[in-house]
Chain A
Amino acid sequence: MPAVGAAQQALSPAARVARAVSGDVMRAHVDFLADDALEGRAPGTRGGALAAKYVAAQFERLGLKPAGDSGSYYHRVPIIALTPDPQAAIVAGGQTDLKYRTDYVMWSMRDDSLVAVGADLVFVGYGIVAPEYGWDDYKDADVKGKVVVVLVNTPGLHDPSLFKGKILTYYGRWTYKIEEAERRGAAGILMVHTTESATYPWGTVASSWTGAQTRVERAPTSLLVAGWLTESVADRLLQPAGGLQQLTDAAGKHGFQAVPLKARLGATVRSTVRRSETYNVVGRWPGRGPKANEAVLIGGHYDHLGVGAPVDGDSIYNGALDNASGVSAMLAAAEAFAKSGVTTPRSMLFMGFAAEESGLLGSTAFAARPSVPLKQITAVLNMDVMNLYGRTRDIAALGVDQSSLGRTFTEAAKQEGLRVTVNEDALVKGSFFRSDHFPFARAGVPSLSLESGLDYVGRPENWGRQQQDEYTAKRYHQPSDEILPWYMYDGAVQQVRVIVRTAVAAAESPPQPVWTAGSEFRAAGEARVK
Chain B
Amino acid sequence: MRPDRPGFIGPLPCALLAAIALRAAGFAQAQRPPEAQRPPAAQPTRAHALGPAKARAVAEAVRPEIVRAHLEFLADDALEGRGTGTRGGDLAARYVAAQFASLGLEPAGDDGSYFARGGPMNVIARLPGRGRLASEAVILGAHYDHLGIGPAVGGDSIYNGAVDNASGTAGMLAIAEAFVTAGARPARSVFFVAFDAEEKGLLGAKALIRRPPVPLAQVVAMLNLESLNLVGDTRDIAALGADRSTLGTLFRVAAAAEGYTVTPRSAAVMQEAERQGFFDRSDQAAFVQAGVPAIMLFLGDQAGGDQPRGWAKRMLDQYLQQRYHQPNDDLSLVGDLGATAHALRVYARTLLAAADQPARPRWVSGVH
Tell me if B99 counts as interface (CB < 8 A to partner A): yes
Q: Which of B64-72, B257-265, B301-309 contacts A (4 or more CB under 8 A)?
A: B64-72
Tell me if B25 counts as interface (CB < 8 A to partner A): no
Tell me if B133 counts as interface (CB < 8 A to partner A): no
A40: min CB distance to chain B, Å:
14
Tell me if A27 counts as interface (CB < 8 A to partner B): yes
CB pair A32–B65 under 8 Å, yes or no, is no
B57: min CB distance to chain A, Å:
7
Interface string of B64-88 (1 = CB under 8 A from A): 0110111011001010000000010
List chain A residues, Cβ under 8 A from B90: 37
Tell me if B17 counts as interface (CB < 8 A to partner A): no
A-B contact count (CB 8 A): 61
Q: Which of A477-511 contact B (CB under 8 A)?
A: none
List chain B residues, Cβ under 8 A from A31: 97-98, 101
Partner of B57 from the list A2, A32, A35, A59 (CB cut-off 8 Å) is A2
CB pair B69–A60 under 8 Å, yes or no, is yes
CB pair A32–B94 under 8 Å, yes or no, is yes
CB pair B63–A50 under 8 Å, yes or no, is no
CB pair B66–A61 under 8 Å, yes or no, is yes
Partner of B70 from the list A24, A46, A50, A61 (CB cut-off 8 Å) is A61
Known: A37-B90, A53-B78. A29 touches B72 (CB 8 A): no
CB pair A50–B98 under 8 Å, yes or no, is no
Tell me if B95 counts as interface (CB < 8 A to partner A): yes
Tell me if B11 counts as interface (CB < 8 A to partner A): no
CB pair A28–B102 under 8 Å, yes or no, is yes
CB pair B183–A57 under 8 Å, yes or no, is no
CB pair B101–A54 under 8 Å, yes or no, is no
Partner of B69 from the list A22, A29, A61 (CB cut-off 8 Å) is A61
List chain B residues, Cβ under 8 A from A335: 102
CB pair B95–A46 under 8 Å, yes or no, is no
A488: min CB distance to chain B, Å:
15
CB pair A54–B65 under 8 Å, yes or no, is no
CB pair A60–B68 under 8 Å, yes or no, is yes
CB pair B102–A57 under 8 Å, yes or no, is no
Number of contacting residues on B, CB 8 A? 28
- Bound CA–CA A425/B181 (angstroms): 44
CB pair A28–B183 under 8 Å, yes or no, is no
- Bound CA–CA A22/B103 (angstroms): 10
Tell me if B104 counts as interface (CB < 8 A to partner A): yes
List chain A residues, Cβ under 8 A from B100: 28
Tell me if A473 counts as interface (CB < 8 A to partner B): no
Tell me if B216 counts as interface (CB < 8 A to partner A): no
CB pair A50–B69 under 8 Å, yes or no, is no
A468: min CB distance to chain B, Å:
27
List chain B residues, Cβ under 8 A from A53: 72-73, 76, 78
A69: min CB distance to chain B, Å:
17
Tell me if A315 counts as interface (CB < 8 A to partner B): no
B49: min CB distance to chain A, Å:
14
Interface string of A316-341 (1 = CB under 8 A from B): 00000000000000000001000100
Number of contacting residues on A, CB 8 A? 26
Tell me if B41 counts as interface (CB < 8 A to partner A): no
CB pair A28–B69 under 8 Å, yes or no, is no
Tell me if B91 counts as interface (CB < 8 A to partner A): yes
List chain B residues, Cβ under 8 A from A260: none
Partner of A32 from the list B68, B95, B183 (CB cut-off 8 Å) is B95
**Main secondary structure on chain A at its contact with chain B?**
helix
Tell me if B182 counts as interface (CB < 8 A to partner A): yes
- Bound CA–CA A60/B173 (angstroms): 14
A31: min CB distance to chain B, Å:
6
List chain B residues, Cβ under 8 A from A57: 69-70, 72-73
CB pair A37–B63 under 8 Å, yes or no, is no
Most A-side CB within 10 Å, residue of B60, B87, B100: B87
A415: min CB distance to chain B, Å:
25
- Bound CA–CA A63/B72 (angstroms): 15
Partner of A63 from the list B63, B87, B101, B104 (CB cut-off 8 Å) is B63
Known: A2-B182, A32-B94, A37-B91. A27 touches B101 (CB 8 A): yes
Most B-side CB within 10 Å, residue of A25, A56, A57: A57
B23: min CB distance to chain A, Å:
20
Known: A1-B57, A24-B104, A53-B78. A60 touches B72 (CB 8 A): yes
- Bound CA–CA A58/B91 (angstroms): 16
Q: Which of A1-42 contact B (CB under 8 A)?
A: 1-2, 22, 24-25, 27-29, 31-32, 35, 37
CB pair B87–A28 under 8 Å, yes or no, is no
Tell me if A273 counts as interface (CB < 8 A to partner B): no
What residue of chain B has the Cβ atom nearest to residue A39's Cβ? B87
- Bound CA–CA A24/B60 (angstroms): 24
Tell me if A89 counts as interface (CB < 8 A to partner B): no
B61: min CB distance to chain A, Å:
9
Tell me if A90 counts as interface (CB < 8 A to partner B): no
Interface string of B177-192 (1 = CB under 8 A from A): 1000111000000000
List chain A residues, Cβ under 8 A from B72: 53, 56-57, 60
Q: Which of B139-186 contact A (CB under 8 A)?
A: 177, 181-183
List chain B residues, Cβ under 8 A from A339: 181
Interface string of A168-200 (1 = CB under 8 A from B): 000000000000000000000000000000000
Tell me if A49 counts as interface (CB < 8 A to partner B): yes
- Bound CA–CA A57/B98 (angstroms): 12
List chain A residues, Cβ under 8 A from B57: 1-2
List chain A residues, Cβ under 8 A from B65: 60-61, 63
B149: min CB distance to chain A, Å:
13
What residue of chain B has the Cβ atom nearest to residue A61's Cβ? B69
CB pair B78–A46 under 8 Å, yes or no, is yes
List chain A residues, Cβ under 8 A from B99: 28
CB pair A29–B78 under 8 Å, yes or no, is no
CB pair B73–A54 under 8 Å, yes or no, is yes
What residue of chain B has the Cβ atom nearest to residue A50's Cβ? B78
Given contacts A1-B60, A2-B182, A54-B95, 7 further A-B contacts (CB under 8 A): A1-B57, A2-B183, A28-B98, A29-B98, A32-B95, A32-B97, A60-B68
B residues neighboring A (CB under 8 Å): 57, 60, 63, 65-66, 68-70, 72-73, 76, 78, 87, 90-91, 94-95, 97-102, 104, 177, 181-183
List 7 A-B pairs, Cβ < 8 Å: A1-B57, A31-B97, A31-B101, A37-B90, A53-B78, A54-B73, A59-B69
A residues neighboring B (CB under 8 Å): 1-2, 22, 24-25, 27-29, 31-32, 35, 37, 46, 49-50, 53-54, 56-61, 63, 335, 339
